[in-house]
Structure 1
Amino acid sequence: MPFADINGTRLHYSITGSGLPVVFVHPPLLEGNSFVYQQEQLSDSYQVITFDIRGHGRSRYSELPVTFPLLARDICMLLEYLHIPKAYICGYSIGGAVALETILADPGRFYGGILLSAMSEVSDPVLRRSLQACVAAAKYRARRFLTAVITIGNANSFQTFRKLYRDSMKGDIRNQEQYYRQGLIYNCTVRLKDIHVPMLLLYGEKNFVFHKYANVLHRHLPFSSLQFIREAKHQLPTKWHSQTNERIRRWIREQITEKESPSG
């Protein structure tokens, strides 16, 4: 199990495949294994990099409170540690907000970004109540209940649930609570205009609460492609992994083709 000692912490990470590097950012409580299907299905063409955010999975508990600028620095330093000068970054759900913060912090390090069911702010009452419930459960140490709810929601089989649950339980509930709290207060919408790399925005057609956030991102990001996966809901990396991975593969291929064209 590889670990990187960077930025005052120890991060667990995994690299699968070779080619253009794509680093994946998971949401609170989950960890890098939530991208197992991306590891399996995209590693034939890309270098798939997953990692456990500090205090999650096998990564060390963080004495410093988890903030998005801190996580952005972790990601950039992890890429430095791996001698990867430039990569694509893909964030899922709240991990998408971390991906946005990372691009804003170091735009020259990324070819582009991929956001799966993501948001730049939390401004609707339904999502706010959901995240507040997660914060409350974490605060009162209802760890097994919270982990079961989140991992069941993201699992497409009993085997996947067992793996997600087991690995998520290795994290520290204090850092998980901090990550949820950051998701509630973070807002980079007014800064989206400063992101000048291409962005793929992927959402489930039936993930109705997030359609608002899809449109906000598409409206404010200068170079974005908004796509909806038919019949899909929120959990794109696991429950709709084949459709999601095919969209990612196609989009990256289009970016390469545009760069190689005489007018690109």
Structure 2
Amino acid sequence: MDHPPTTLLYHEDMFNLQSTATLLSSFLGDDGRHVLILDSTVFHPQGGGQPSDTGFITDVSSSRFNFIVQDVRSRNAVVYHYGVFEKPAEDLEGGVQVVLSVDESKRKLYSRLHSAGHLLDVCLPKVGLSHLKPGKAYHFPDGPWVEYEGKVPQAELQSKMQELELEANNLISRGMKVSVAVYPYEEASMLCGGALPEYIPKGSTPRIVKLGDFPGCPCGGTHVSNVSDLVNVKVTQMKTKKGVTKVYYTIGS
């Protein structure tokens, strides 16, 4: 069954953790879990190195069913909410109005981890590592890291770790606004230092995250409102292999 693209409400307001939506379909997935597809969602699906939100979806009256959201994924612009019914739902059909509630503690943690990764990105030029170009990232609680194209001499890894951590914590202590918005392609390009990655289609309207006055970058994830919310960052490891440098980090509680 074809579904229209899901409206991503967290793109409009990252700090709103509850919304209403219309159920489009409900079915049993290949892994035995139920799947709900809605016309809009406040749940962030796994992607961009960020874990998916979890939480609950109930009918408006909270009497017909209670769906525990365990995982959220996006395919072809349609968001799939995977989980189990805590309260069984009989003959659940499209058109039902539902209430979505995101787990607040997990969302805040994932947002902080994601913003910390971006903070390390903007600190690189400050510590003599401007030649490193951002690549993959893993903003999960079980060992977050950011990866860059480029090398760091083995003899400098330890000192660069310390410099990077110091610079990041200096910015955290001073505080710096984090802004996220959608822009026309040309304006987005200017905000990102004059060029956008090749995977961003020309003529599109990319969503850009900016930390203070530093150049921005395209991002579909959720973030903190100010880097001071990170409390502190600890760079736990930096290693270079086959032309790629990976930086592991943790954040304060």
TM-score normalised by L of structure 1: 0.26
Q: Which structure is larger by alpha-carbon Rg, 1 or 2?
A: 2
TM-score normalised by L of structure 2: 0.27
